Amino acid sequence: MIKFEQVSKTYPGGQRALSKVNFHIEPGEMAFLTGHSGAGKSTLLKLISIMERPTVGRVLINGHDLNSISRRQIAYIRRDIGMIFQSHQLLMDKTVFDNVALPLVIEGYTHKETTKRVHAALEMVGLRDKARNLPIMLSGGEQQRVGIARAVVNKPPLLLADEPTGNLDPKLSMEIVRLFEDFNQAGVSVFIATHDLGLIARMKYRTLTLKNGQMITDGLTDANGEGWS
């Protein structure tokens, strides 16, 4: 589903964020990406959602080389990727319903279809009764779930999450991860970047580890990881 081939990323100014990263995540897989702050997790996710372009190497999604995607096509690529952020990226002056409906409005769905899908997505994250609320009236965990509902409302085959549990306590974090498990069981590939090791330890999922921009384990050769503490 996601394949990195000898990917390096150097930011203007010479800061080397990733160097020669290789890995492959199969369709339908759920995997974690971990590492210290500044190890390159966010950069790696940005290369998948084409917020950044690799300096060297190739990133492939479902066998398609993202280097061949033009600037104009990026919008269409992002419709295939559900993205979840630590900072939620919700529109604070729009209701929960409008926030979740945004991807569908952009894709031109009819009002009827939009309403149906938004309610289904909110139902999945347990926020059906909060549709008319503004995000500001919700708790941190609820806001994160609105973000998740928005990411899955157009049923993308791939979910990316950048520190989705960053501001949440362990119990809420677990609830969020359970949600991801549900989507994964429905066939969606899920790739989660987090530095919450306690959370990962309780799971048995594949874990890829970055250190100083290099992938020190891709979670296949050694199930426990090599410990970067």
Partner 1 sequence: MSLLFKGRPQGASDARIGTVQTIMAFFISHLRQALGSLGELWRQPAASIMTVGVLGLSITLPSTLYIMVKNTEKISAGWEQASEISLFLKESTSEASAQQLLTRLNTWPEIDTVTFIPADDALKEFQHLSGLGDAIAYLESNPLPDVVLVAPVEKHATPQAAQMLLDKLKQQREVDIGKLDIEWLERLYAVLDIIRDLVTLIGGLLFIAVVLIIGNTIRLNILNKRDEIMVMKLVGATDAFIHRPFLYTGFWYGLLGGLIAWVAVILILWWMDSSIQAFAALYQKDFAITGLSGSALFTMLGLSVLLGLVGSLISVQRHVREIEPK
Residue 9 touches partner 1, criterion: CB under 8 A: no
Contact present, 193 and 40 (Cβ < 8 Å): no
Q: Residue 168 burial by CB count (10 A; 0-12/13-18/19+): exposed, middle or buried?
A: buried
Residue 102 touches partner 1, criterion: CB under 8 A: yes
Q: What single-letter amino acid sits at 141?
A: G
Of the residues 56, 67, 91, 223, which one makes contact with partner 1 according to CB under 8 A: 91
Residue 24 touches partner 1, criterion: CB under 8 A: no
Contact present, 33 and 219 (Cβ < 8 Å): no
Nearer to partner 1, 117 or 206 (CB): 117
Assign 194 to helix, strand or coil.
Answer: coil
Q: What is the DSSP letter of 168?
A: S
Q: What single-letter amino acid sits at 224?
A: N
Nearer to partner 1, 14 or 108 (CB): 108
Of the residues 17, 18, 21, 61, which one makes contact with partner 1 according to CB under 8 A: 61
- Give the max Cα distance, the chain: 51
Q: Which of residues 121-140 bind partner 1 (CB under 8 A)?
A: none
Q: What single-letter amino acid sits at 12?
A: P
Of the residues 54, 57, 103, 225, which one makes contact with partner 1 according to CB under 8 A: 103
| Least spacing, CB of residue 167 vs partner 1, in Å | 18
Part in contact with partner 1 (CB under 8 A); list of ranges 73-81, 171-179, 201-209, 215-223:
73-81
Q: What is the DSSP letter of 157?
A: S
Rounded-to-integer distance, Cα 195 and Cα 166, Å: 8
**Binding-site size, partner 1 (CB under 8 A):** 31
Residue 89 touches partner 1, criterion: CB under 8 A: yes
Residue 111 touches partner 1, criterion: CB under 8 A: yes
Q: What single-letter amino acid sits at 179?
A: L
